[in-house]
Structure formats: C-alpha cells, structure tokens
C-alpha cells in the first residue's frame, strides 16, 4: 500500500508542473500578441499628422490669419550665362574620309559665308570625281548608240529589239551619271583629291577641332562657327519657381563685364528639366543686341514674376524641415492646429508665395510658429 502511494504522488506533481508550464506559455503568447497589436495601432497613429492643442495662456503668443489668394509681384533670381541662339551656330565637318592638308583660320577669326576654312586630301574624293568622268563617257556612248538604232529602224535596216535594248541601256547610264554627279557635288570645291571646306555662314570661329596632318573620318566635326549678334541669356531657374515665370516677363541682367545692368524679356522656357539639379533653362532676349558681350560670360538674372493670384505668407509662417521640407500650421478648430506640408516659391521682401498645399479660406499661423513646433516635438 505504501508502495502505490509513493508512485501516485510523483505522478500528480508532474501533472501539476505540466499545467503550470502550459498556462505560463499561453500567458506569454497573449502578452506578445497584445504588444504587437499595441505597436501596430501606434504605427497607424503616427502616419497621420498630429493635431496640437495649446493652453489659453499661450494663445497671445500666436497670430492666426485667414488666407486669400492675392496678386504677388516678386523677382526670381537665377544664375545665368550668355549663349548663342540655336540657329546662330553652325558646324563644318568632313564629308569624306581623308587627311587635313591645310587650315586657313583660327579661333576668334571673323569669316564671311564661303570663306575657305581648310583643305582635305582624300582618295575617296578622287574616286568620286573619277566616277563622274567615267559615267559621263558611258552616257555619251549610250546616247550615240540609241540614236544610231533609231535611225537604222527608220531606214528599215534595224530591229525593234535592238532599239529597245539601246534605250534601256541609255536610261541605266543616265541614272549612274546623275548619282555620281550628286555625290561629287557634295564634296564642294576642289579638284582631283582636294576638298575645300568653306564657312556656311558669316560669323566667328568658335572651335577648331583638328590640326594639319590629322586623319579624319566622314562626318567628323572640324569647325564650329557662331553669329556674333545672335546671342541670348540662359537662366537656370529652380523647379519651384517655374510656375512664377511667364513668357514676355521683364528681366534685369547683371553681366560680369558690364558696369550697368541691362534689360531683356523671357523668350521661352525649356521643355527638358535638369534632373540632377532640379532646374530648368529660361531663355532671355536682350533688348540691346549691340552689347560688348561674348558667349560663356556669366550673369545674374532678376526675372519679374508677377503671375496670377496666389496665396502669400510671411516668411515667419514657414518652417524648414531637413533643408527640403516646408511646413506651416493650420488651425483646424479653435486652439487646435495641425502641420501641413507646402510647396513655396522664392521669397521677396519678407513674403513667400505658396504654390501647393493651401487653399483660400484656411486659417494659418503667421507668427509664433516655433512655439507650436516645440509643442509638436514633445508629442513625438
């Protein structure tokens, strides 16, 4: 009897331990699930902008104003440079492969249209001109044969098939001659293997990308010319300021080599954005085309940006986060505010235009923004 009691007691103890361990594990799992649920809920809350309530004692330190779109006359400043217009640039290249035998100009020379720039020696050119002589002679023989067959047929001693063959050969030789003549005309002036490269426009030699004795391939650009009077200024305007730029807007230009500013107007805005700099090119026509300026000179453009009605805020209303995010505080109900991301233009005289993020009729904090921001940081 005592033996059975001793065996039964350890069995009960083991069962009790097993139940305790199972309950403990279940409790731990419930705790983990609860923590995960709390974390998920917290994550969902942080995705929304947190509203901020301030005590009544702090209200006098905050100024709130209802915003309405209004005319905003400002100036957009942008680094600029003097460039040739696209139509005022011209390049001269090698029409055939060869070797440069002579160069007649250098950078900075002013040339007229048709001025010889260089002489190219090319065996291809010699072959092309030889083809003209050969095909011309073949064409002459074909013409004589066709005429002879025509006369023989009229005299009754010729055959129609021979006349047809002669006319067919005449058409082939005529096509060969025209092809060789057109190819030779592309060479321009010169004789035998010499090809004279001439200036296509009147202008200034900007680049000479070759030297005497250099072997070049067909299509290689050897010279670049520009028309001195056909200049404009290209301004690099930030993406955020582009909506403020309109065609025809007045521009004041400060060019490094000129003692006084000059004026111009916006001619066009480029369709291609500089992705790395987030800027776009704005092209400016000069009012005075006889200025002593050259391509490559640096300038600063002051572009008049009087666009349509926009929401305008004092610069004190806008906070800068991480050097790229702009935030304002909007009153959603009495004493309760929430942060709002906005897109702004360039500041002028203490005011800044809001391009995106706000609508008319909203109430925005225009002073005391830092007080709200410090309250917001304590909620994080």
Distance of CA 109 to the CA centre of its chain: 32
Residues (pLDDT < 70) of the chain are 1-49, 72-73, 273-277, 306-308, 375-380
197 closest CA partner among 101, 108, 127:
101
Structure tokens at 241: 């300021």
Q: What is the pLDDT of residue 4?
A: 42
Residue 244 CB neighbour total at 10 angstroms: 24
> Helix, strand or coil for residue 103?
strand
Q: Which three-class secondary structure state does DSSP give residue 331?
A: strand
Give me the pLDDT at residue 344, please: 85
The interaxial angle of helices 123-155 and 160-187, nearest 10 deg, is: 160
What are 173-180's contacts with CB under 8 Å, separation 24+?
A: 173/135, 173/138, 173/139, 173/141, 173/142, 174/139, 174/142, 176/135, 176/138, 176/139, 177/132, 177/135, 177/136, 177/138, 177/139, 179/135, 180/128, 180/131, 180/132, 180/134, 180/135
pLDDT at position 251: 94
Contacting residues for 219 by C-beta, under 8 A, at least 6 apart: 93, 94
* Topology classification of domain 52-72+309-379: 2.40.420
Domain locations along the chain = 52-72+309-379, 76-85+230-304, 90-118+199-228, 123-192
Query: At which residue do the structure tokens 């290689």 appear?
Result: 220
Reading the block at residue 338, the tokens are 């929430």
Say how far apart CA 265 and CA 253 lie, in whole Å: 10
Cα–Cα distance for residue pair 97/82, rounded to 1 Å: 35
The pLDDT, as a whole number, for residue 202 is 86
pLDDT confidence of residue 298:
92
Q: Residues near 18 by Cβ (< 8 Å), separated by ≥ 6? A: none
Structure tokens at 378: 């304590």
Domain at 90-118+199-228: CATH architecture: Beta Barrel (2.40)
- CA-to-CA distance for 282 and 294, rounded, in angstroms? 19
Q: What share of the chain is helix, strand, coil (3-state, %, to 5)?
A: 35, 35, 30
CATH fold group of domain 123-192: Helix Hairpins (1.10.287)
Fold of 76-85+230-304: Elongation Factor Tu (Ef-tu); domain 3 (2.40.30)
User: What would the pLDDT profile of 115-161 be if each residue is shown by its tens digit?
Assistant: 999 999 999 999 998 999 999 999 999 999 999 998 988 888 888 89
* DSSP three-state, residue 297: coil
């Amino acid at each position: 009897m005592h033996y059975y009691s001793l065996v039964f007691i350890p069995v009960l103890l083991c069962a009790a331990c097993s139940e305790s361990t199972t309950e403990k594990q279940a409790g731990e799992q419930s705790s983990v699930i609860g923590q995960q649920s709390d974390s998920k809920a917290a994550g969902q809350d942080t995705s929304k902008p947190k509203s901020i309530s301030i005590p009544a004692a702090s209200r006098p330190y905050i100024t709130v104003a209802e915003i309405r779109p209004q005319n905003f006359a400002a100036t957009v400043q942008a680094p600029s440079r003097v460039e040739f217009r696209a139509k005022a640039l011209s390049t001269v290249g090698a029409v055939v492969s060869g070797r440069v035998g002579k160069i007649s100009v250098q950078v900075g020379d002013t040339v007229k249209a048709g001025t010889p720039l260089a002489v190219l020696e090319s065996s291809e050119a010699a072959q092309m001109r030889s083809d003209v002589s050969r095909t011309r002679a073949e064409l002459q023989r074909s013409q004589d044969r066709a005429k002879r067959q025509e006369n023989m047929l009229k005299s009754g001693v010729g055959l129609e098939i021979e006349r047809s063959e002669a006319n067919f050969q005449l058409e082939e030789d005529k096509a060969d001659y025209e092809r060789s003549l057109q190819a030779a005309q592309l060479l321009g002036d010169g004789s035998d293997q010499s090809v004279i490269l001439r200036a296509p426009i009147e202008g200034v030699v900007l680049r000479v990308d070759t030297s005497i004795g250099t072997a070049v391939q067909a299509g290689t650009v050897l010279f670049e010319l520009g028309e001195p009077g056909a200049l404009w200024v290209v301004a690099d305007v930030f993406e955020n300021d582009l909506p403020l730029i309109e065609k025809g807007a007045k521009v004041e230009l400060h060019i490094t080599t000129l003692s006084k500013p000059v004026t111009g107007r916006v001619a066009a805005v480029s369709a291609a954005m500089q992705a790395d700099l987030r800027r776009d090119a704005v092209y400016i026509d000069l009012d005075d085309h006889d200025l002593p300026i050259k391509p490559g000179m640096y300038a600063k453009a002051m572009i008049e940006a009087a666009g349509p009605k926009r929401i305008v805020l004092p610069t004190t209303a806008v906070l800068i986060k991480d050097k790229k995010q702009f935030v304002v505080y909007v009153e959603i109900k009495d004493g309760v505010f929430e942060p709002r991301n906005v897109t702004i233009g360039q500041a002028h005289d203490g005011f800044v235009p809001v391009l995106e993020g706000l609508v008319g009729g909203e109430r925005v904090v225009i002073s005391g923004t830092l007080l709200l921001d410090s309250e917001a940081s304590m909620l994080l």
